[in-house]
Amino acid sequence: MDLAIAIDNNSSKPLHQQLYEQLRQAIIKVRLTPGERIPSTRFLAKSLSISRFTVTTSYEQLLSEGYLETVTGRGTFVCKQIPDHLINSNPIQNNQKINSSSIKLSKYGKTLVNTGNVPRIREPKLQINFRY
């Protein structure tokens, strides 16, 4: 795998953010293809001369956003379904309109529709109120 990543130690952006952005762009622009294995954190840290923690932080962010997936014992891979493709997809067309008169609402629901305000609920007087 040929992965060109440039880390600027003098940048105001943290190293993990720089690495995250470059890996994310590589995934979005399909320089890293879906299902492709990415370098281990140890290997990438050593090749970029940065700490493994920095690489792990970037990988974790990409994992949490759905760009990467891990397979125990095999490594970390680019997710087969990239999130930005889902975000930029065309919306589903629904020609069927909902008739509000056919929906049965509770008394509380009718109050919200008519006034737009949430009615005050009387709470019992307690020594300690645990409500946020």
Q: Are 56 and 41 in contact (CB under 8 A)?
A: yes
Q: Where are the domains of the chain?
A: 15-87
pLDDT of residue 112: 72
**Three-class HEC string of the chain:** CCCCCCCCCCCCCCHHHHHHHHHHHHHHCCCCCCCCECCCHHHHHHHHCCCHHHHHHHHHHHHHCCCEEEECCCEEEECCCCHHHHHCCCCCCCCCCCCHHHCCCCHHHHHHHHHCCCCCCCCCCCCCCCCC
Query: Could you tell me the pLDDT band of residue 3, with boundaries at 50, 70 and 90?
Result: confident
pLDDT of residue 99: 55
Query: What is the chain's mean pLDDT, rounded?
Result: 81
Average of pLDDT values for 96-116?
69
**What digits encode the pLDDT tens for the residues 4-52?**
888 898 999 999 999 999 999 898 888 898 999 999 999 999 999 999 9
Angle, CA 125 vertex, CA 119 and CA 128 arms, to 5°? 110
Record: fold of 15-87? Arc Repressor Mutant, subunit A (1.10.10)
Q: Which two tokens stand for residue 126?
A: 């307690």
Q: What is the pTM of this model?
A: 0.62
